[in-house]
Structure 1
Amino acid sequence: MKQHLLARGLPLALLALVALVAVLALWVWRHALERIAHPPALVADAALVLGNRAYLDGRPNPCLTHRVDRGVDLWRAGQVRLLALSGGVDREDGRIEAEVMAGHARQIGYQGVLLKEALSSTTRENLAMAWPVLQAAGVRRVIVVSDAYHLWRVERLAKASGFDGAFDVQYAAAAPDCGRPAWQTVRSALREPLAIVNNALNGFL
């Protein structure tokens, strides 16, 4: 009897998980579209650009450089006076994400102040470890920059950790496709609901 119930329960649990991921994916994309349609409108002290894998196929990861591009765009528009770059050692190739981001920012013409947080390895750590760096620089208003589909989780982590209470926070979406084929964008976006579930199970959301 127990084996029979187990045999019936596993498919149901798997189906429930798939349904949950599908609902979260839809919710994340709806939120992403909203963030793209309504970019930050107020001036801030800094843009906090969250890290990502540093290199891909021997070249800077476009999903990282596109985030930096968005931060630099905010600076060029006069919405922020400096950039803060958050990301530690890339476990795949040993490069430091914040350093890669800084190099790209300078390469595309950014001439302002660069703050770097080079120890974090997760989104939650990006926020937590950038927090004292921003405060030490006198930042009170910050625009957090990441991929559009990433921002739903970022916002929940900011609220759960108190980050959005310590700073006046807005959010800016980088290009969601990272300049890549559509199938790669979809694959990346589908990972996000799994990350949300993981964060929730660990009590971070």
Structure 2
Amino acid sequence: MKRTFKYLAFAVISLFLTQSIFIAADGLMDDEVKTDCILILGNKVNKDGTLSPRLKARVDKGLQLFRENPSSIIIVSGGLGKEGYYEGTEMKKYLIDRGVPVDNVIADDLGNNTLQTANNYMELSKTHHLSSVTVVSQYYHISRTKHLLKKVGAGQVYGVHADFFEWRDFYSMFRECIAFYKYW
């Protein structure tokens, strides 16, 4: 019985490490391609309405991509946080304050999770005739988001990670490995 448990534990740990390496590598290798849309996933908005450092890093990366391709549409997606702010709306304000034309930014305030964001993107892509998208999030979130976008029928899907790392990423990577299978 002990031997079986050891083999099973070894198999689970090996699978987790292999998957973690794949997720990290995929998320850290940015796709340098111009797309119709930049999709920035939401995160915490502070109690004073400012973007958390993690969210600011995502939006700043999206802003950088927009400046390289100013004809693209930016979709900022996130739900209502416990702080009382809609993430999409606050990200849109941030981008407009930094010179992005209001007509180039769409706030999706109903993107409460990654699957909902993917579904909402598909509806918006039909309305705005979008055929390619670059996802902007933390590196560990890119693979699953790209997978979900493809699963709901998005055309060309690429990813770029935000330049923000913290100790919490280790927990997030573990959670992401489990979530990946949930949506598979």
1:128 positional shift: 0.5
Unaligned runs of 5+ in 2: none
Distance 1:66 1:79 in 2: 19
Deviation per CA, 1:82-119: give whole Å up to 9, x if none.
211111222x3332110121122123332352112111
Equivalent in the alignment of 1:189: 173
- The answer to whether structure 1 residue 174 and structure 2 residue 162 are counterparts is yes
Root-mean-square deviation over aligned CA pairs: 2.8
Report the Cα distance in structure 1 between the residues aligned to 2:97 and 2:6, rounded to whole angstroms: 51
Q: Say which SS state the counterpart of residue 137 (structure 2) adopts.
A: strand
Aligned partners of 2:149 and 2:97: how far apart in 1?
Answer: 30
List gaps (5 residues or longer) in structure 1: none
CA distance in 2, matches of 1:111, 1:22: 43
Deviation (angstroms), 1:157? 1.5
With the length of structure 2 as denominator, give the TM-score of the two structures: 0.81
Normalising by structure 1, what TM-score? Answer: 0.74
1:143 Cα shift?
1.9
Instruction: Say if 2:17 is the partner of 1:22.
Output: yes
Report what 1:46 is aligned to.
37
Q: Which amino acid aligns with 2:157?
A: V
User: Structure 1 residue 55: deviation in Å?
Assistant: 3.3
Distance 1:129 1:9, change over 3 A: farther
Code of the aligned partner of 2:159: Y
- Report the CA distance between 1:15 and its aligned residue: 5.8
1:152 aligns with: 143
What is the CA-CA distance between 1:171 and the residue it aligns to?
Answer: 2.2
**Pick from 74, 86, 101: which aligns with 1:83?**
74
Q: Tell me if structure 1 keeps the 8 A contact 2:135–2:146.
A: no
How many equivalent residue pairs? 183
List per-residue Cα deviations over 1:31-52 (Å, max 9, x = no partner). Answer: 22323xxx322x3222111222
Larger Rg computed on CA atoms: 1
Alignment match, 1:72: 63
Match of 1:98 in 2: 88
Cα separation, 2, equivalents of 1:30 and 1:169? 16
Counterpart-to-counterpart distance in 2, 1:21 and 1:173: 21
- TM-aligned CA distance change 1:194 to 1:55, over 3 Å: farther
Determine if the alignment matches structure 1 residue 63 to structure 2 residue 63. Answer: no
> Do the aligned partners of 2:138 and 2:164 also contact (CA within 8 Å) in 1?
yes
Q: CA deviation at 1:53?
A: 3.0
Residue 16 (structure 1) shift: 4.7
Identity of aligned residues (%): 25
Q: Pick closer, same or farther for the CA change 1:189–1:80 going to 2, 3 Å.
A: farther
